[in-house]
Chains A and B, each alone.
Chain A
Amino acid sequence: MPGAPVPNPSPAWHYVRSQWATRLGAEPGTAPFEEKWNEVLRVGQWQAAAPAAPAAPAARVPAPGTAALLGSLPARPSGLELQLYPHLATGDGRGANNGWLRERPDPVTRITWGGAVAIAPRRFDEMGLANGDLVEVDAGHARVVAPAYRHAGMHHDQVALPLGLGRRACGVIGDDVGPDAYPLRKLEGDRVIAAGLPVTLRRVGGNEALAFAQGSDVIDRDRRPLVPATTLTAFEADPKAGTEQPPGGPSAWPAHESKKARWSMSIDLSKCNGCGKCVIACQAENNVPVVGRQGILDGREMSWMRIDRYYDAPKKEGRRGAEVWDGPLDVVEEPATLFEPMLCQHCENAPCETVCPFVATLRSEDGLNQQIYNRCVGTRYCANNCPFKVRRFNYWDYSVRQTSALFTWLQPRSVRHADLNTRGRMQMKNNPEVTVRSRGVMEKCSFCVQRVRDARARATREGRTRDRFADGEVVPACMESCPTGAIVFGDVNNPDSRVRALASGPRAMRLLEALGVKPAISYLTKVRNDKA
């Protein structure tokens, strides 16, 4: 009861009351304090005075010396200006001889092994170019010929070229691949200017195919609800926004039951920035071969993971998005980009498993879609039946060094494959825990099954159960390397696992539900901030 004397007050009691002395404007023990204190206790709340209005922001003052610096920059060119940028894979060129880096597609252009002049869509179309047409960038002091690329979102008056390509003496992997843009840099006194360079663009004849690791760029998410994405406004109205898709139907058969772990993954598209570290980590962990520029041109990429980059097709006249053909994105000023890491979805009702006649792919009891390399005879039926097209076939013996002169004469490509994968001590890059596949064998993401089996072995050695694991005990290579933590892997049967919480959340979407394949991977919506 407020006001009554408290028997045996603790030091904490004194402490609390002394903290309120400033607020109430009186000392504990005095009558004004006790009155206000009892009032606070009776009412249960205390209203502070309204805060003062914030002071007006101070005028911005540039740091000293800025004015001088700004004044000495070259004038903005009135025409086309060139931006040189370090290529994401090779940096300034130091990574040019690394096959993994060269084969990792640029996150936005999706070009592997080479580079291109990025040109704004309207200028590209006005010049009547097609991707790969050779153009000459003339900066006055130097000229470079490079293939052209229609880069959505590029400013009309800007072109860009990557630095670090086209080296001539870096090693057998990277030599003479891509345009060398270094000559275009301008030396002015003691400074190197690599941006804002005035250039002219001229089409020269010929076409050098760009090794794209992706087919079509544009996705119409009304017709193809394959990338869960939404805006902040829509998300706040409904947390499930962006996950709408045609539902699946009932199954004719009861599902197989399992008491063991059920490995699943969740990929947060709001966190994924398309950097591609997961792609390379997977390649390193699983001995995925490098196929080279010609292999990519032939459509025989081997990387188990890929980061698809889509441009959201703009709506036409407010109706459902217009049917998108193979054509490039219509000219839009700010294209909405979507990244979607795509890997084997480890479907519960995997269409690939049904059609393999040789029993080379089947479902394990712990929820993995298994690929048995030594049983695979290579009909490629599974790859055809995969709706996500995540299966990779070894069209050549990439990882075997052919010594027969007859063979290398018949198949000159085998020399290139050997240079990319097996030259010298390159064999040491292979992970001894994972098979190196021969030609004629299908492969795909295995959820790093070697790490899962390793955890099982450890559990057996330690006398624990082999079928259930603590969250975080098994970490696949992609999750381990992801800098933003977009990839979360775990046992969805474990009530404490993070992946269970994420997969059952409102933002989670499994792809192609209408097909009834039931993927084990959930994609969390990319929520684009439209209120900034």
Chain B
Amino acid sequence: MSASSTSGVIGYFLEPSEALAAAAKTRDAGWKHFDFLTPFPIHGMEEAMGQRPSWIPYVTAVLAFIGILLAQALQNYVMVYDWPLNFGGKPHASWPSFVPITFEAMVFWAAIGTAIVAIVAGRVDSVPQPPPLLVKTGATVDRFVLWISATDPEWDAGEAVEFVRSLGAHGVELVEAGGKTHA
């Protein structure tokens, strides 16, 4: 990570309503690579930031279908094709017996796959973040932090600081080369 990729401007807000207003103004002002770091998700923040809804549910649907397919394939292959045996007079393809495992496999693939995809997406689908081990933003405590990354196409450090101050932030800081300075 080069210094420029983790540099940017931080602005502190103290309440969700302040953060929502600031987010809408930031979006309208044309900033692209910005983010809000918050201790809990804020209802309405996606629209205020101009985000599309998450695409994860589609992934879930595909994974669920894969789960069903795998379970049915396994059970039918084993019980009908590979080594069919007579268990209590039941037919080889006793579909009622196959239902519980099919359902559980669907849930397994959908749930765990979704979680993994979400964690990966949270890292990948993000703008470069202030490194958490070096920069304490307070976003996990009680601060609602506006972060404008230096990777934004219209980045200018001074302009960004001015803009954030104009939003009414309770504190504005510049982050550079792994440290931050008050601005």
What is the interface of chain A, defined by CB distance below 8 A to chain B?
251, 253-256, 347-354, 356, 359, 362-365, 518
Contact = CB atoms under 8 A, between A and B. Distances in A.
A353 B87 contact: yes
B90 A354 contact: yes
B86, B90, B94: most-surrounded residue (chain A CB, <10 A)? B86
Interface residues of B, number: 8
Contact of A255 (B85, B87, B89, B94): B89
A255 B86 CA distance: 10
A353 B88 contact: yes
Nearest to A256: B86
Nearest to A348: B89
A515 to B, nearest CB: 12
15 contacts: A253-B90, A253-B94, A256-B89, A347-B88, A348-B89, A349-B88, A349-B90, A350-B89, A353-B86, A354-B90, A359-B85, A362-B85, A363-B85, A363-B87, A363-B88
B91 interface: yes
A348 B90 CA distance: 10
Given A347-B88, A354-B88, 19 more contacts: A253-B89, A253-B94, A254-B91, A255-B89, A256-B89, A350-B88, A350-B89, A351-B88, A352-B88, A353-B86, A353-B87, A354-B87, A354-B90, A356-B87, A359-B85, A362-B85, A362-B87, A363-B89, A364-B86
Interface of B: 85-91, 94
Nearest to B91: A253
A352 B88 CA distance: 7
Contacts of B87: 353-354, 356, 362-363
Nearest to B87: A353
Nearest to B97: A354
Nearest to B94: A253
B86 A363 contact: yes
Nearest to A352: B88
Nearest to A254: B91
B16 to A, nearest CB: 53
Nearest to A356: B87
Contacts of A256: 86, 89
B86, B88, B91: most-surrounded residue (chain A CB, <10 A)? B88
Contacts of B86: 256, 353, 362-365
Contacts of A353: 86-88
B74 to A, nearest CB: 15
B60 to A, nearest CB: 30
A190 B87 CA distance: 68
Contacts of A354: 87-88, 90
A355 to B, nearest CB: 8
Contacts of A364: 86
A370 to B, nearest CB: 10
A351 B91 CA distance: 14
A455 to B, nearest CB: 21
Nearest to B83: A359
A349 B85 contact: no
Contacts of A351: 88
Contacts of B94: 253
A469 to B, nearest CB: 21
Contacts of A362: 85-87
B92 to A, nearest CB: 9
Contacts of A349: 88-90
A255 B90 CA distance: 8
A350 B89 CA distance: 7
B176 to A, nearest CB: 63
A490 B90 CA distance: 25
A354 to B, nearest CB: 4
Nearest to A363: B86
Nearest to A518: B89
A253 B93 CA distance: 11
Contacts of A253: 89-91, 94
Nearest to A255: B89
A255 B94 CA distance: 13
Nearest to A364: B86
